[in-house]
Amino acid sequence: MRAGIIGAGHYVPDKIVTNADLEKIVDTNDEWIRTRTGIEERRIAEDTMDTSDMAYEAAIRAMEAANITGADIDLILVATVTPDTPFPTVSCMLQDRLGATKAAAMDLSAACAGFMYGVVTAKQFIDTAVYKNILVVGAEKLSKITDWTDRNTCVLFGDGAGAVVVGEVSDDKGILSFELGADGSGGKHLYQDKDFISMNGREVFKFAVRQMPESSLHVVEKAGYTKEDVDYLIPHQANIRIMEAARNKLGIPVEKMATSVKRFGNTSSASIPIALSEAVQNGDVKDGNLIVLVGFGGGLTWGAIAMKWGR
């Protein structure tokens, strides 16, 4: 037996904000945003919808895919930098709404790499046979910490949630290798400054184009494979140019990489599980495929996983 993902689901709000919409509120233009980031539009949650509401919608879809109910969940991990409140945590709110009465619950924060930290944490409890079903959610309402007068950041982000259930799979499937890392000395490049996200885009870019390809290669090698064996790449959806750097380093054709950044922007810890859930839904990720998940974020933090999809 091995730890693996036994179900995935996602939710994004209905409201679409296009680049043209942003042209009306800050000094920017569609051409700049598309060529620098690859983003065409993003989803923004209504005032009545908070992070826990999106997390809930994603969670019930992931649980349905995994064929489990709230009563089956042993632990809930929610990666978020935009919880409804510092406490109670989003994970406790979910525990109640999902009827997951026997589940322990905690939020964890590793910014955009939070989902990777969550899945790797979940894996430890499965490997040690302590728990059977662990719900891992990445959920963000970044719009509430976005300065809508700052063109450097407001064009980049969006709201949404993705969720997976981590459980036991057969030993030819599941999580084969992982890497987690942090470099606190880079914290000054991307942080929340009182109310809003503050960013040194160029420094974050330099870090990301180095880290994403490196970590992707590391986990593939650790798993005993070569880059030619990779069937699908799911990078953190921050910027198409950063994602392309990872794809080129692995020599993966363009159709084998998730690119939902175009439609959803950067949804921080939600971006990888949203992209994974979509890829499974539309058949880009199939049973037995070798897939690589890789993320980076404020902290600075990063994480990557190589896994064989399926139960």
Residues that bind ligand COA (CB under 6 A): 28, 32-33, 36-37, 112, 151-152, 155, 190, 199, 201-202, 204-205, 208, 238-239, 266, 297
Residue number, 43 or 61, with CB nearest to ligand COA: 43
Whole-number Cα distances in Å, 81 to 61, 84, 175: 22, 10, 25
Find the shortest distance in angstroms from Cβ 22 to ligand COA.
Answer: 8
Find how far residue 201's CA is from the centre of its chain: 20
Secondary structure class of 145 (helix, strand, coil): helix
- Active-site residue flag, 236: yes
Find the shortest distance in angstroms from Cβ 80 to ligand COA.
Answer: 14
The residue from 19, 133, 189, 236 that is catalytic is: 236
The residue from 10, 112, 133, 189 that is catalytic is: 112
Q: Which residues have a Cβ under 8 Å from the Cβ of 269 and sit 6 or more positions away?
A: 79, 80, 81, 110, 111, 112, 113, 114, 115, 118, 138, 139, 140, 297
Q: Which residue is nearest to ligand COA (CB)?
A: 201
C-beta atoms surrounding 301 within 10 Å: 25
Does residue 87 contact residue 145 with C-beta atoms inside 8 Å? no
The residue from 19, 133, 239, 266 that is catalytic is: 266
Find the shortest distance in angstroms from Cβ 152 to ligand COA.
Answer: 5
C-alpha span between 75 and 235 (Å, rounded): 26
Find the shortest distance in angstroms from Cβ 63 to ligand COA.
Answer: 28
179, 214, 166, 206: which is closest to 190 by C-alpha? Answer: 206
Find the shortest distance in angstroms from Cβ 194 to ligand COA.
Answer: 18
Residue number, 199 or 257, with CB nearest to ligand COA: 199
Residue number, 28 or 69, with CB nearest to ligand COA: 28
- Active-site residue flag, 266: yes
H-helix or E-strand spanning residue 160: strand 159-169
Q: If you search the block for the tokens 């057969």, which residue do you land on?
A: 170
Residue number, 167 or 235, with CB nearest to ligand COA: 235
C-alpha span between 185 and 27 (Å, rounded): 32
Residue number, 237 or 277, with CB nearest to ligand COA: 237
- Active-site residue flag, 112: yes
The residues annotated as belonging to the active site are: 112, 236, 266
